[in-house]
Structure 1
Amino acid sequence: MKEIEDIIRAYKASRQSGKKVALATVVHVEGSSYRRPGARMLVTEDGEMTGAISGGCLEGDALRRALLAIIQQQNKLVTYDTTDEDDAKIGVQLGCNGIVHILFEPIDPDAPHNAIRLLEQVLEKREDAVLVTLFRLNQAAQQPGTCLRYSGNTFSGSLEDGELKTTIMNDVLEVFSTRQGIVKQYGEEKPALHGFVELLKPPVSLIIAGAGNDAMPLVEIARIQGWHTTVVDGRPLYATPARFPGAGRVIVSKAKEVLDKVTIDERTVFVLMTHNYNYDLALLELLLQKEVTYIGTLGPKTKLERMLDELAAKGITVSEEDRARIHGPVGLDIGAETAEEIALSVTAEIKSVLSERTGIPLRDKSGPIHTL
């Protein structure tokens, strides 16, 4: 989601300076590629690029394609065959062993449902959304582009009413339910019409209980990833915006009042690292009463066991499901020692939990790295 936020900021800046822009979107991949469907890049008419559609190997040619789309004011699809080691079209040997289809859409700021406006609508609220982009693999064919958004039980976009829209809307609801995007062919016409039906989730909301120096690199790493971070602590001398410029919010609060000051949804995670045992214990007790996917506790396992024993002594039952939500000691086992290394370990574990991945080395995976 950070990439989309960066693109929208860049688009607003281009509007202020009167620059024309195009949006490049990876809509379909066959085989392997550095980026998957949903990767985006904004290109201005003077060559500024925000976001990425590859590891840098396609951006040079994509810049030329985007400028052509801006000049002609037409959506264009370009296919890059990275399985071709000669790669005469691009001029470099990519070696990714995949075919990448990228849609270029010049953005008309006066169009009420242009691709950027639909992305803006996705970010207006912290809720899951589905975005539909229609394209044809025949590069000479008309390319409909980004045309439909669904979130909050409402649809918006430029797709006209009819059988096609009804079919796509049903697929949108299915993607929203299954939490898995799809690329699907619609109809039997030639060239075939395809739709990239994409699930977009809100940024991670990281609540860090603890404003010590060791929380600083955790805030910074979270910021780099585009997470929305809140730092909370009971000590006003520690919990200050000046100490945590990368945090969206810094709150001074007693433990029992923290949950009254933050919003919790399915993408909200907590890390308890105040180095104040009673503060962490009080907050853990409150969090166990909420549907929080991830609760990390800094410190040795004996500390967590002690807290759970004290909760049990108070008559608070900690179920197996609750134990699965609590990650203590927090983080992945990467041999972390410094605050920066611990922050890396913690954010990696949070990402793996939210993505429902194991965190094993990629070389040990038997299947593909990415899924749609």
Structure 2
Amino acid sequence: MKEITDILQAYDQAEREGRRCALATVVHVEGSSYRRPGARMLVTEDGRLTGAISGGCLEGDALRKALFAIQLQTSKLVTYDTTNEDDLRFGVQLGCNGVVHILFEPVKDGHPISLLREASRNRSGAALVTLFSRQRTAEQPGTSLLYTGGRVTATLPDALCQTILSDVVCGHGVSHFSHYGPHEAFIEFLVPPPALVIAGAGNDVLPLVDIASLLGWHLTIVDGRPHYADKARFPKADRVIVARPDQVLPQLDDDQQRLFLLMTHNYQYDLALLKAILPGRFPYIGILGPRTRLDRMLEDVGYALDEAQRASIHGPVGLDIGAETPAEIAVSIVAGIRAFLSGHTGRQLKDNLHPIHHRPWTAQVQD
């Protein structure tokens, strides 16, 4: 979602300057590729690029294709095939043994940016549908439908819209492909960025905020010390709250998927906040410090935690990467949270026998 946020900001800037834009979207991949379906890049008519559709090898040629789409105001599907290892003919030298299909859409009257903007505002997630065809003579509808919590925004005929919606609902939150006549649809489920509450506003939180904000996470800093919990100290945080532990939850939005990180270095503050948030059954509670401190804290909660509550607690928090400095510890913590959210272990990629990118849609593609 961070990439979409950056694209929206870049589009707003281009619109203020009166510059036309095109949106490039990776809609299908066969074999190996640096980016997967759903990767996007905004191109302005003066050549500015926001986002990425490859590791940098495609961007030069994609710029030319995007400018062509802007000039003609017509969507176009472009295929980059490197399976024959003769990628020099593209002038891009992909270095990946795969086929990448990229759709270039001129932005007309705010569309399709308006669908991305609406999706980014929804904290419960959204399904975004991009229609394309690998038949050269077929129309390229592009980013055509958004489904958010029962609300539908679409630029498609009603009959086709209803057919696609049934596939969206049956998709159970897993991105996949479907076919509708000459067109394929990439049905992409967008997950909102993690909402992380960091209890603590000490100096060791500064690099943590820097790294998490770079990933586009929604960050709230809470601390009882006003000279620490200061927005000027944490300009990249979305909110900074000065509050006692019992005052924290009432000041937060109702979001059951919210994540918590306790690192005030004040035992009593962390304990009181842990007692306050445990009944809410939030999915992730990270606790900084040694295991002996955590064991004492769990005893001082005053009652035995059930299995689900114990599973939500991650302490000592972070991955074992040998971190020593505050910046290294921040990397460890953020990596640990990211692994938890994606259901991965955080082990070395060289020990992984499966593809790097998860491909839940592979079995559903009908080529």
TM bin (shorter chain): over 0.9
Q: What's the CA shift string for 1:197-255, capped at 9, x where partnerless?
A: 00001111111000000000000001111111111100011110111111111110001
Assess if the C-alpha contact under 8 Å between 1:205 and 1:268 holds in 2: yes
The equivalent position to 2:178 in structure 1, one of 181, 184, 207, is: 184
What TM-score do you get using the length of structure 1 for normalisation?
0.94
Q: Which moved more, 1:21-30 or 1:75-84?
A: 75-84
1:161 aligns with 2:155: no
Q: How does 1:36-47 map to 2 (within 5 A)?
A: 36-47=36-47
1:358 aligns with 2:358: no
Question: Which residue in the other structure is 2:355 paired with?
Answer: 368
The equivalent position to 2:113 in structure 1, one of 113, 116, 119, is: 116
Letter of the 1:355 counterpart: S
The DSSP-based 3-state class of the residue aligned with 1:348 is helix
1:203 aligns with 2:193: yes
The DSSP-based 3-state class of the residue aligned with 1:289 is helix
Unpaired segments ≥5 residues, structure 2: 360-367
The DSSP-based 3-state class of the residue aligned with 1:371 is coil
Question: Which residue in the other structure is 2:276 paired with?
Answer: 286
Letter of the 1:78 counterpart: V
Q: Which moved more, 1:149-158 or 1:165-174?
A: 165-174
1:56 aligns with 2:45: no
Q: What's the CA shift string for 1:97-119, capped at 9, x where partnerless?
A: 11111000001026xxx210001
1:172 aligns with 2:168: yes
Measured in 2, the distance between the counterparts of 1:287 and 1:174 equals 34
| Shift of residue 186, structure 1, vs aligned partner | 2.0
Question: Which residue in the other structure is 1:66 paired with?
Answer: 66
Q: What's the CA shift string for 1:12-59, capped at 9, x where partnerless?
A: 111111101000000111111101111000000110010000010000
| Shift of residue 370, structure 1, vs aligned partner | 1.1
1:214 aligns with 2:204: yes
| Shift of residue 266, structure 1, vs aligned partner | 4.7
Measured in 2, the distance between the counterparts of 1:92 and 1:18 equals 31
Letter of the 2:165 counterpart: M
Q: 1:39 to 1:256 in 2, by over 3 A?
A: same
1:241 aligns with 2:231: yes
Question: Which residue in the other structure is 1:275 paired with?
Answer: 265
Q: Which moved more, 1:318-327 or 1:39-48?
A: 318-327
What TM-score do you get using the length of structure 2 for normalisation?
0.95
| Shift of residue 267, structure 1, vs aligned partner | 4.0
Question: Which residue in the other structure is 2:362 paired with?
Answer: none
1:127 aligns with 2:124: yes
The equivalent position to 1:143 in structure 2, one of 140, 156, 163, is: 140
Assess if the C-alpha contact under 8 Å between 1:130 and 1:151 holds in 2: yes
Q: What's the CA shift string for 1:280-323, capped at 9, x where partnerless?
A: 01111111111311110000011111011112xx2x23012111
The DSSP-based 3-state class of the residue aligned with 1:213 is coil
Assess if the C-alpha contact under 8 Å between 2:60 and 2:92 holds in 1: no
Q: 1:32 to 1:107 in 2, by over 3 A?
A: same
Q: What's the CA shift string for 1:151-178, capped at 9, x where partnerless?
A: 021111101111x322210111123xx2
Letter of the 1:179 counterpart: G
Q: 1:264 to 1:274 in 2, by over 3 A?
A: farther
Q: How does 1:19-38 map to 2 (within 5 A)?
A: 19-38=19-38
Letter of the 1:275 counterpart: H
Q: What's the CA shift string for 1:123-142, capped at 9, x where partnerless?
A: 22312100000000124431
| Shift of residue 261, structure 1, vs aligned partner | 1.0
Question: Which residue in the other structure is 1:231 paired with?
Answer: 221
Measured in 2, the distance between the counterparts of 1:278 and 1:295 equals 16
Measured in 2, the distance between the counterparts of 1:257 and 1:250 equals 13
Question: Which residue in the other structure is 1:262 paired with?
Answer: 252
Assess if the C-alpha contact under 8 Å between 1:273 and 1:298 holds in 2: yes
| Shift of residue 82, structure 1, vs aligned partner | 2.7
Assess if the C-alpha contact under 8 Å between 1:58 and 1:90 holds in 2: no
Measured in 1, the distance between the counterparts of 2:136 and 2:339 equals 37
Letter of the 1:104 counterpart: F
Assess if the C-alpha contact under 8 Å between 2:196 and 2:259 holds in 1: yes
Question: Which residue in the other structure is 2:364 paired with?
Answer: none
Letter of the 2:206 counterpart: M
Letter of the 2:167 counterpart: D
How many equivalent pairs are there?
A: 359
Measured in 1, the distance between the counterparts of 2:276 and 2:96 equals 48
Assess if the C-alpha contact under 8 Å between 1:131 and 1:148 holds in 2: yes
Assess if the C-alpha contact under 8 Å between 2:281 and 2:309 holds in 1: no
Q: What's the CA shift string for 1:59-108, capped at 9, x where partnerless?
A: 00000000000011101000111323221332243221111110000010
CA RMSD of aligned residues (A): 1.2
Measured in 2, the distance between the counterparts of 1:317 and 1:245 equals 39
Assess if the C-alpha contact under 8 Å between 2:129 and 2:187 holds in 1: yes
Assess if the C-alpha contact under 8 Å between 2:25 and 2:53 holds in 1: yes
| Shift of residue 269, structure 1, vs aligned partner | 1.0
Assess if the C-alpha contact under 8 Å between 2:35 and 2:54 holds in 1: yes
Letter of the 2:251 counterpart: K
Q: Which moved more, 1:278-287 or 1:83-92?
A: 83-92
Measured in 2, the distance between the counterparts of 1:369 and 1:63 equals 27
Assess if the C-alpha contact under 8 Å between 2:219 and 2:238 holds in 1: yes
